[in-house]
Amino acid sequence: MPTSIEEPSWEIGNIVRTEAAAAPRQANLLATLVHIVLGSVSSLFAYVQTRFSARGGGQPAGSGIARRAVSTKAAAKLLAMEAAPANSIDYAMMRRCIELSKETPKGELPFAALVSQDGRVLAESNNSVVRDCDVSRHAELIALSNVQNVTGSRRLRGCTLYTTVEPCPMCSFAIRETGIGRVVYAIRSQVMGGHSRWSILDDHQLNRAMPVYFAPPPEIVADFCVAEAEKVWKDRHPLMWRMIKARGCLGRAP
């Protein structure tokens, strides 16, 4: 019990001083908690926005092989990769490729590809999926394999691949592993393309993570002689081509 009138006043003063000293600490603690909560919400929002930034979803952020997001940065990157100028050799090689697609055997779709070096054709091929009953027998893979057999080398750094249709992801991985220097294609594949749909041909993470196996991205020339290449499909399979175009599988946007 207090022994004098001064003692309660002294105790009350201590309580007031203690509460006053604790107030700043409590305010700092509250500010810290608010900062943490806001940071967590911001991170969650950024994750969700990145996760679903591509049409229809996409791969998790950080994935090197992901569906191309519709963004200014991605568009600029795509345009930069396609800015490589064509030359007279490119026209001659692509026209040969288009003629080759016209010669595709009955039952096969008119895919054709060839590999050249210094203006000389090293190998060329059509699709052989139906004839060989083998889904891996794409024109690009056959042409690349034939060149490797001819040169005795897995690496094709000084070569150019020409193909009437944008390489699919399967072919694109093989192209990157050969280290081929240039890829020139005519018809885009907005659904299956290893360049315009999936970032494989122009993905830098592959060669950074596994430089022993994957070379840096090749120079890319897209939409080259596209009208002539599309005409082959239209003339050969008019009804099928209309369906393909309607579904947006191949070709330029209507």
* Phi, psi for 26 (deg, rounded to 5): -65, -40
Pick the catalytic residue from 124, 140, 166, 230. 140
Q: How many angstroms separate the CA atoms of 5 and 126, rounded?
A: 107
Clarify whether 219 is annotated catalytic: no
Q: How many angstroms separate the CA atoms of 236 and 231, rounded?
A: 8
Contacts of 244 (CB under 8 A, 6+ apart): 233, 250, 251
Neighbouring C-alpha atoms within 13 Å toward the C-beta of 73? 4
pLDDT tens across the length of the chain (254 residues)? 445 544 444 454 554 455 455 555 555 555 555 454 444 444 444 443 434 333 344 333 333 333 333 344 444 444 444 445 667 899 999 999 999 999 998 889 999 999 999 999 999 999 999 999 999 999 999 999 999 999 999 999 899 999 999 999 999 999 999 999 999 999 999 899 999 899 899 999 999 999 999 999 999 999 999 999 999 999 999 999 999 988 889 887 65
Q: How many angstroms separate the CA atoms of 68 and 220, rounded?
A: 16
Residue 137 has a pLDDT of 95
Residue 171 has a pLDDT of 97
Return the ∠ at Cα 92 (arms to 91 and 95), rounded to 5°: 80
What is the Cα gyration radius of the chain?
31
- What's this model's pTM, rounded to 2 decimal places? 0.67
